[in-house]
Structure 1
Amino acid sequence: MRVIAHATEDVSRVRETLDFFLSGAGVKEAAKLIEELQAEGHHGNPITILSVQLKKKAECLNFAHFVRENFSEEDVDMLREEMPERLDEDLVFHLRFDKQAAYLQQVKLTNSSDAIIAKVKIETYPKNREKAGAIVEELFG
């Protein structure tokens, strides 16, 4: 997951949005996992990029279950409709969560560029888009 804290935002509040998802996934000591990078925006403005990568299978499954359990029916319907477009050729499933909603402890999909971006790598052996789609459906649909 990755999120940008703009110069006008309090980095600690943006960090709380990631903490919300990580605690929902049962990640222990989440604060230690979040990487912080200082960068410059398109117009020269300072930004902070916060990112975290979950690698343990249990944490990844907990994340998917947490997201699914907290989706509104509207978000579930939208996700089902957009599933094929959200799964790329490398079998990475793309999600964008509303940053403001996450700060308020809510899981909500958004199309905004100012979002918490989650990329979920779906593993199939051998690589198979249909099997990956079925896994995504099982996890998030």
Structure 2
Amino acid sequence: MPLKAHHVRLTTFIQATEDEDKVLEAIGTFIPEEIDDEDVIFDIDETTGFFGNPIKVVNVEIKRSKAVRAFLRHFKELLDENAKRYILDNLEEKVDDEGTLYIRFNKQKAYLGEVEVDEGADVVQVRIKVKAFPMRKETVVKAVREWLEE
């Protein structure tokens, strides 16, 4: 059964030492080509890091239901067995009380088109606001589990 979601958000950081295009390519790994550009809300904010270094925060949001469905299909195809197993084993911690599934991926690997779950700092964070009824953490955990195990 496909997972249903209200929206998807991807977030990452571009350090001053990083090539912005490469970081955007890393995020692009997660976005299926069939999604229309106007369905991808793209935002880069400039901020300052802990040590006063310039950092750009990249936020990508997908809201239209057709685009969200395309993202979820693509996202599931990207996950290998190790990634699925890791998410399933840690599902309780990966879903918050608002019903959002949080998963972080290695940014360097994503640039190479590979998807590897990573709890480090240099990551692309994927947040999926899951639709479930009733909207409770347990319902969302169950929906994500069924989706990943099918």
1:31–1:6: structure 2 CA closer, same or farther, 3 Å change rule? Answer: farther
Which residue is 2:22 aligned to?
13
Instruction: Using the TM superposition, give the Cα deviation of residue 58 of structure 1 relative to its aligned residue in structure 2, in angstroms.
Output: 2.4
8 Å CA contact retained: 1:70, 1:107:
yes
Instruction: Using the TM superposition, give the Cα deviation of residue 6 of structure 1 relative to its aligned residue in structure 2, in angstroms.
Output: 0.3
Q: TM-score, normalised by structure 1?
A: 0.89
1-side partners of 2:65 and 2:93: how far apart?
A: 24
- TM alignment of 1:36-47, pairs within 5 A: 36-47=44-55
My pick for the range that moved more, 103-112 or 67-76, is 67-76
The structure carrying a bigger helix percent of its residues is 1
Instruction: Using the TM superposition, give the Cα deviation of residue 114 of structure 1 relative to its aligned residue in structure 2, in angstroms.
Output: 1.1
Counterpart residue type for residue 54 of structure 2: P
Which residue is 2:105 aligned to?
97
Instruction: Using the TM superposition, give the Cα deviation of residue 18 of structure 1 relative to its aligned residue in structure 2, in angstroms.
Output: 1.6
2-side partners of 1:131 and 1:6: how far apart?
A: 37
2-side partners of 1:137 and 1:55: how far apart?
A: 23
Q: TM-score, normalised by structure 2?
A: 0.84
Counterpart residue type for residue 91 of structure 1: G
In structure 1, which of residues 41, 57, 79 is the aligned counterpart of residue 65 of structure 2?
57
1:106–1:135: structure 2 CA closer, same or farther, 3 Å change rule? Answer: same
List gaps (5 residues or longer) in structure 1: none
Instruction: Using the TM superposition, give the Cα deviation of residue 32 of structure 1 relative to its aligned residue in structure 2, in angstroms.
Output: 6.5
8 Å CA contact retained: 2:39, 2:64:
no
Counterpart residue type for residue 24 of structure 2: R
1:62–1:138: structure 2 CA closer, same or farther, 3 Å change rule? Answer: farther
CA RMSD of aligned residues (A): 1.9
Instruction: Using the TM superposition, give the Cα deviation of residue 30 of structure 1 relative to its aligned residue in structure 2, in angstroms.
Output: 6.7
Identify the structure with bigger relative contact order (alpha carbons < 8 Å, sequence gap 6+).
2
1:127–1:31: structure 2 CA closer, same or farther, 3 Å change rule? Answer: closer
Matched, 1:72 2:76: no
List gaps (5 residues or longer) in structure 2: 1-9
Which residue is 2:37 aligned to?
29
My pick for the range that moved more, 49-58 or 59-68, is 59-68
Instruction: Using the TM superposition, give the Cα deviation of residue 130 of structure 1 relative to its aligned residue in structure 2, in angstroms.
Output: 2.4
Deviations 1:6-37 (A, max 9, x none): 01001111111122212x26322279632111
